[in-house]
Amino acid sequence: MLYCKDCQLLCEQECPQCGSRSLRKPQANDPVLLGVFEPAIAFGVESILKDNHIPYEKFGNLGAAVTLYVGTAMETYRFFVPYGEYRKSVSLVEELTGPAEPSQEHE
Ligand SMILES: [Zn+2]
């Protein structure tokens, strides 16, 4: 697993976002994109990270002008966690939201 420091993404050989191949091994304190969540889920993600004492950064995805246009319901939040806490964070989020696969309704 390699890391693009520009996009703060984990990837294998080439960054899926910027196409960079100048990647390095992730360090424990590198911020890594945990996921992008809508507000209702972001609230739960935030509290579960706090409960587990995982440091995180949260950024709104849309600028103020876009928020005015589409309304706050379309706002999403990007969460970053240190690489050293990434695996634990992913499993905590999966407990919250289910596996990151195309969602299927329970019967
Ligand atoms: Zn990149």
Are the C-beta atoms of residues 19 and 8 closer than 8 Å to each other? no
User: Which structure tokens are listed for 36?
Assistant: 């992008």
Are the C-beta atoms of residues 58 and 43 closer than 8 Å to each other? no
More confident residue, 52 or 65: 52
Q: Which domains does the chain have, with CATH numbers?
A: 27-97 (3.30.70)
- CA–centroid distance, residue 91 to ligand 1 (Å): 24
User: How confident is the model at residue 76, as a pLDDT?
Assistant: 86
Are the C-beta atoms of residues 59 and 78 closer than 8 Å to each other? yes
> Residue 73 — pLDDT band, cuts 50, 70, 90?
low
Q: In what order do the strands lie in the sheet with 77-82?
A: 31-37, 77-82, 57-60
- CA–centroid distance, residue 54 to ligand 1 (Å): 24
Q: What is the pLDDT of residues 23-50, one digit of tens each?
A: 999 999 999 999 989 888 999 999 999 9
Q: Which residues fall inside 5 Å of ion ligand 1, going by CB? A: 4, 6-7, 15, 17-18, 20
List 24's β-bridge partners, or say none. Answer: 3
